[in-house]
Amino acid sequence: MTAQPFSTTSAASTASGTPTGPDTLRRLRDGSGLLSAAAMRRLDEDLSWYRTLPAEHRSWVGLVAQAGIDAFVTWYATPTGTPHGVSEIFAGAPPELTRSISLQHTLQLVRVIVDVVEAHSDQLASPGGERDLREAVLRYSREVAFSAAEVYARAAEVRGAWDARLEALVVDALARGEADDNLRSRVAALGWSGRGSTLVMVGTSGSTLDDVRAADLRRAARRAADDGLVGIQGDRLVVFLGGTGDLQAAAASLLPRFGPGPVVIGPTVQNLADSARSASAALAGLVAAPAWARAPRPVSADDLLPERVLTGDASARRTLVEQAYRPLLASTGSLLETLSAYLEGGRSLEAAARELYVHPNTVRYRLRKVAEVTGWDPHNPRESYVLQTALALGRLDAAL
């Protein structure tokens, strides 16, 4: 970095306003190499994190230290104006440096440089100018600290915007079932640990989320479960949750973050690679949910199987046939026949008993067996509707 030319007509003045002679400035310029060497020795002696850095990263830190000293010398020539070169101190190192060392480490680096210059002030300052040099160093160190904070804030902003875009791409790919090796590495880069199960919940935001609300939702998702990913697709929100805890409870805790309307939770799957099944069910459930006026909020995608069938969801159709119709068809004790008579007879035990020529208690017993076999209770109005839909679908399949 080129130093500003010094002249006696524009002599440097310190923070206290006292002019300094050209001798101190000349000594600083001549001693910049000495200061750099002393600073690097101090870094290696005092900062354990610096010693553990790779050689390439240590060289970047060295560039920053040298640039800081050169910029101070340049500014010292004209300290009455805005410190010259402060924003350029970090320009010699690549952006990856802010990922290698933290802001706290950078401020420690600044402190070491300040200590080195102070320690050599008696040697570098002209006689009588030692105090003025120390004050100038302190003033400049403050400017460098602010500059470092600005660099890290800017890097965090850029990294946050990139992470948000990457997260959106990852969520879209997972929902489509594109969980290849590249995607897994991207998920890991977003902090997904991969421990435990996974589920997907979807809903609407009610309005377009700004960056602040979107970031707040992401933080809430990561607090609710071990792992969390958020996709914002217009006014639709897609949230992936993972971990070893109670994911259903974690999903329920995020309900206030969604806008009005249905919120659907997909089935829990073993891992992120299988999350497309949960996402597909949840998204299909979100489309079908308006057909069930009294659906709870949130509602399970598996509780919307009949409505999903109405929207053309082939997966829901297969699930109903496989979990209800076929087990009843394969069972003994006339369970399928009894359920059909009960549903088609207006859900009356007596009407079904008369049609089957059995006692009502027999019908009642068989319906309990239906609930055990299928998981849906014929006595429950909602679940009997699910069973009636399953019987219709099974008969259609048998007729084809």
Residue count of the chain, please give it: 400
* pLDDT attached to residue 306: 96
Confidence of residue 77 (pLDDT cuts 50, 70, 90): confident
Burial 241-280 (b: 16+ CB within 10 A, else e): bbbeeebeebbbbbeebbeeebbbbbbbbeebbebbbbbb
Domain spanning 181-301: which CATH class is it, in words? alpha beta
The stretch 222-242 carries a mean pLDDT of: 88
Contact between residue 320 and residue 305 where contact means Cβ atoms under 8 Å apart? yes
Q: How far apart are CA 89 and CA 30, in angstroms?
A: 20
Selected residue with higher pLDDT from 395 and 333: 395
Mean pLDDT of 322-330: 94
Distance CA 130, CA 142 (A): 19
Percentage of the chain beyond pLDDT 90 is: 37
Instruction: Lowest mean pLDDT of 118-132, 277-291, 345-359, 379-393, name the range.
Output: 118-132
Tell me which CATH homologous superfamily contains domain 313-399: PucR C-terminal helix-turn-helix domain (1.10.10.2840)
- Answer with the residue of higher pLDDT: 64 or 12: 64
Q: In this predicted structure, which of 43-52, 293-302, 316-325 has the lowest mean pLDDT? A: 43-52
Long-range contacts from 115-123, C-beta under 8 angstroms, 24+ separation: 115/42, 116/35, 116/38, 116/39, 116/42, 117/35, 117/69, 117/72, 119/38, 120/31, 120/34, 120/35, 120/38, 123/31
How confident is the model over 311-321, as a mean pLDDT?
A: 95
Cβ within 8 Å of residue 157, ≥6 positions away: none
Would you state the pLDDT for residue 320? Answer: 95
Beta bridge partners of 241: 199, 228
pLDDT for residue 391 is more than 60: yes
Distances, alpha carbon 279 to alpha carbons 205, 266, 386, in Å: 17, 6, 22
pLDDT of residue 283: 93
CATH topology assigned to domain 8-158: Globin-like (1.10.490)
Q: How far apart are CA 109 and CA 65, in angstroms?
A: 8
Q: List the domain boundaries for the chain.
A: 8-158, 181-301, 313-399
pLDDT-derived band at 298, boundaries 50, 70, 90: very high
Q: Is the pLDDT of residue 61 over 90?
A: no
- Arithmetic mean of pLDDT, 145-154: 61
And the tokens for 191?
A: 């902090």
* pTM as predicted: 0.61
Long-range contacts of 15-19 (CB under 8 A, 24+ apart): 15/79, 15/135, 15/136, 15/138, 15/139, 16/132, 16/135, 18/132
Give the angle 189-192-193 at the CA atoms, nearest 5°.
115
Q: Residue 176's CB: how many other CB atoms inside 10 A?
A: 11
Q: Is 50 exceeded by the pLDDT of residue 31? A: yes
More confident residue, 341 or 137: 341
| DSSP secondary structure, 103-144, as one string | HHHHHHHHHHHHHHHHHTHHHHSPTT-HHHHHHHHHHHHHHH
Per-residue pLDDT band for 5 (boundaries 50, 70, 90) equals very low
